[in-house]
Amino acid sequence: MGLVALAAGCAHEAYQPPPARVEAPVGSASFEDCELGDGSSVPSHFPKGSLAPAGAPEQALGCGLSGQLHALGEPSLFPLPRAAEVYRVLWLRSGGHPVSVRFERQGEVGQIRGAQTAGKGLGDPGDLLEESSAVASPAQVRDLWGPPSAPGTVASIDSGSLWVFEGARAGDYRVQIFQREALARDPAFDALARVLLAASGLHVQGAVY
């Protein structure tokens, strides 16, 4: 997964599916149409089969996430020009507002855009609540671009939060999804999530989990 990082037990534990780390489907990618709450429809932000094996559950997840990103004012990251280098995290909480933070490299610096809506979880995203912007220097960028793997089980927000990391670089697109407990077990992505949120300047209420 290509992303950026900015510098600075119970015996019956609930089952956690492995995080899905994939690259864009080989060949011509296709996108499902997603209906929004107002009756309109938009193409999914995610290529078919990129979040999990293609099927109704994967389509429902992709459309749910796409509805949130649409309300946050975020575009699809696939496809992008080969020269583009963009990374994004989408954070959904059952008890908090949806949040997105996007980093776009522009020469030797980077632009950060943050946004949050008035909704909660994967429900109606509501209106745009806040939008922010910031600049990142080259010294603040650390590469986490890793090898791709096959799509995993369709993720859910049952754990209380869902994190969707995306990256597009040199024409290659990657996406990785973490549920709450899985992210806590991955120090690199956990730190990345927290630092991106802090760098965005958004006024996020509550704990980061």
pLDDT per residue over 161-190, tens digit each? 999 999 888 888 889 899 988 888 888 888
User: Which two tokens mark 195?
Assistant: 């630092």
Residue 6 banded pLDDT, cuts 50, 70, 90: very low
Q: Does residue 132 lie in a domain region?
A: yes
- Is the distance from CB of 71 to CB of 125 less than 8 angstroms? yes
Rounded CA separation 40/131 (Å): 24
pLDDT at 132: 96
Q: Does residue 6 lie in a domain region?
A: no
Domain count, the chain: 1
Q: Domain range holding 168? A: 18-200
Q: What percent of the chain has pLDDT over 90?
A: 27
Q: Does residue 10 lie in a domain region?
A: no
pLDDT at 159: 63
Q: Does residue 75 lie in a domain region?
A: yes
Residue 28 banded pLDDT, cuts 50, 70, 90: low
59-69 exposure pattern, b = at least 16 Cβ within 10 A, e = fewer: bebbbbbbbbb
Rounded CA separation 105/82 (Å): 13
Q: Does residue 12 lie in a domain region?
A: no
Bigger pLDDT: 81 vs 127:
127
pLDDT at 20: 36
Q: Does residue 123 lie in a domain region?
A: yes
Rounded CA separation 101/86 (Å): 11
Q: 64-117: per-residue pLDDT in tens?
A: 999 999 999 999 988 788 888 888 999 999 889 999 999 888 777 788 999 999
| C-alpha torsion angle, residues 44, 70, 194, 133 (rounded to 10) | 130
The owner of tokens 């949806």 is 98
Q: Does residue 104 lie in a domain region?
A: yes
Tell if the pTM clears 0.85, that is, is over it: no
Q: Does residue 194 lie in a domain region?
A: yes
63: phi then psi, degrees, rounded to nearest 5: -70, -35
194's enclosing H/E stretch is: helix 187-200
